Amino acid sequence: MFVLDLKLPEDFLWGTATSAFQIEMGMGEVDVNSDWYVWVHDEDNIRNGIVSGDLPENGPGFWELYPSDLRLAKEELRNNAFRMSIDWSRIFPEPTWDVPVRVHYDSDGNIREVDVTEESIRLLDERAYKPSVRRYREILSECRNLGLTVLLTLYHWPLPLWIHDPIACRDDISHSNRRGWLDQRTIIEFAKYSAFIAKTFGDLVDIYATMNEPMVVSGAGYFSEKSGFPPGINDLNLFVKVTKNLALAHGIAYEQIKRWDENSCSKWGPAYVGIVHNPQYFEAYNADSREDVIAAEFLAYLQNEWFLNMIVRGDFDMNLDMRVDPSEQRPSLAGRCDFIGVNYYMRIRVKGAESRIPGIPGYETIPCRENCTDMGWEIYPEGIRYELNWAYRLYRRPVMVTENGIADAKDEKRSEFLRAHISEVEKAINDGVPVEGYFYWSLIDNFEWAKGFKMRFGLFRVDYETKRRIPTKAVKVYRQIIEGLKSFSL
């Protein structure tokens, strides 16, 4: 018997987190128009072990099964919230380049603002693929009918193919003209897409995340060849450029959502707009080793602070010297973030190593040896309390746990994982951190990017043959926690 006497705010958001590409396909219309779709189908990537060979069209099929899945969230888990995303390529499978907008640049040539007009929205509406618009409206309406407050992510990783050709970029980045986030024009198209989504679904959505884990998009995509993420390049300059473009895109999308969502449907409304970030708990392998400590501090700066400094403070430390020179300050881009979403999974131990890039400390991360998940991530519940405190104290924004979960195919560790992490979230609240919600990753098993279906993060296990959903032991635990039961068994 376990006792957990939680004192969380009445209107605390309890939910699960999902993303479009990972859960939608498997039944109904397959979306072949994104970079990720092409990336995981690419023969070379499969042969070289860059991706698993599993294919998203064999996935859980949320596109058709959303009514019963959402009912599981409401009735079995007693959730009052749901985090989901819309895939850009489903809405705009064809280019929107020629929809006119006015773009303002700063003196360094960075995009500062994009004017999307009523006429631009009308033209975007003409281009939008109507069956997808209808289906997303049905999903969002179903959430509303069930009393699930939606946290909508606009960009959870797939880019339309007309914006990014991941294979051409992988093979020769200098010769592709579809260069994704390396190209400033992607920021302009993202502004149009964001404006269109806010205008079209604003009556059903109040809480938005512009993007999910931008540091994974840039880090795994451009600072690591073997991560399994498109386009699989390792180049510091490209990594810095992409990260900066993502920060600019976030700020510009923030403005669009504020401007175009005029409808409030909850206490949050009309547009409460944040970022979903993944600060990691880095720890020096040997606290007495100066190299280990420097390496851990550098990684914490790079992964956790660098991007948030850009969007919250307007500090663009482009040479990564951990200082912001006056020329790196962009006050006009600061402050565009209402809340910080924290995705938390693990502790990472870090050792100093020989530096391979001048000016950047060398580091090496130690593989998990004990308390590991199927992903090889180290379970460390205390880290979530630390990260929530860290995010709030440094950036003074309310925070939400936008993802936290475990790949656990044998269903042995999930219940305790959930209990222990929620108990640490409560401690953070008692520390004075305004935590507004907790979203478990994920409602159902899904397509875990390069690793495919083997990684089972779902509270409900998915039988991919029959598409049946089977509750794991943690379903009851999560429900009991939410119902405020003080004692329960794991």
User: Is it true that the peptide bond before 67 is cis, omega within 30 degrees of 0?
Assistant: no
DSSP letter for each residue of 210-226: EEE-HHHHHHHHHB-TT
Chosen residue from 13, 15, 16, 19 binding ligand FCB by CB under 6 A:
19
Site string for ligand FCB, 49-88 (x = CB under 6 A): ----------------------------------------
Helices 414-430, 474-482: crossing angle, 10 deg rounding: 20
- Looking at the Cβ atoms of 213 and 305, the one nearer to ligand FCB is 213
Smallest distance, ligand FCB to C-beta of residue 348, A: 13
What SS3 state is found at 482? helix
Of these residues, 142, 213, 283, 291, which one is catalytic?
A: 213
Smallest distance, ligand FCB to C-beta of residue 213, A: 5
Instruction: Please report whether residue 213 would count as binding ligand FCB according to CB under 6 A.
Output: yes
Measuring CA to CA, which residue among 463, 466, 418, 422 is closest to residue 445?
463
Chosen residue from 39, 449, 453, 460 binding ligand FCB by CB under 6 A:
449
Give the number of other Cβ atoms within 10 Å of residue 8's Cβ: 18
Distance CA(235)–CA(232), nearest Å, equals: 10
| Burial (0-12, 13-18, 19+ Cβ within 10 Å), 360 | middle
Give the number of other Cβ atoms within 10 Å of residue 130's Cβ: 9
Residue span binding ligand FCB (CB under 6 A) among the ranges 4-12, 51-59, 121-129, 212-220? 212-220
Q: Structure tokens of 402?
A: 């936008």
Q: Is 142 a catalytic residue?
A: no
Residue span binding ligand FCB (CB under 6 A) among the ranges 60-68, 211-219, 366-374, 387-395? 211-219
Instruction: Please report whether residue 457 would count as binding ligand FCB according to CB under 6 A.
Output: yes
Query: In angstroms, how far is CA 137 from the centroid of its own chain?
Result: 21
- Check if the beta carbon of residue 156 is closer than 8 Å to that of residue 33: no
Q: Is 283 a catalytic residue?
A: no
Site string for ligand FCB, 253-282 (x = CB under 6 A): -------------------------x----
Instruction: Please report whether residue 212 would count as binding ligand FCB according to CB under 6 A.
Output: yes
Rounded to 10 degrees, the C-alpha dihedral 324/326/332/335 comes to 30
- Looking at the Cβ atoms of 120 and 343, the one nearer to ligand FCB is 343
Measuring CA to CA, which residue among 446, 439, 467, 473 is closest to residue 68?
467
Question: CA angle, corner 194, sides to 259 and 73, nearest 5?
Answer: 105
Of these residues, 142, 403, 436, 448, which one is catalytic?
A: 403
Residue span binding ligand FCB (CB under 6 A) among the ranges 35-43, 120-128, 303-311, 441-449? 441-449
Residue span binding ligand FCB (CB under 6 A) among the ranges 5-13, 94-102, 208-216, 431-439? 208-216
Report CA Rg, the chain: 21
Instruction: Please report whether residue 441 would count as binding ligand FCB according to CB under 6 A.
Output: yes
- Looking at the Cβ atoms of 132 and 278, the one nearer to ligand FCB is 278
Which residues in this chain contact ligand FCB in the complex, by CB under 6 A? 19, 22, 212-213, 216, 278, 343, 403, 441, 448-449, 457
Catalytic residues: 213, 403
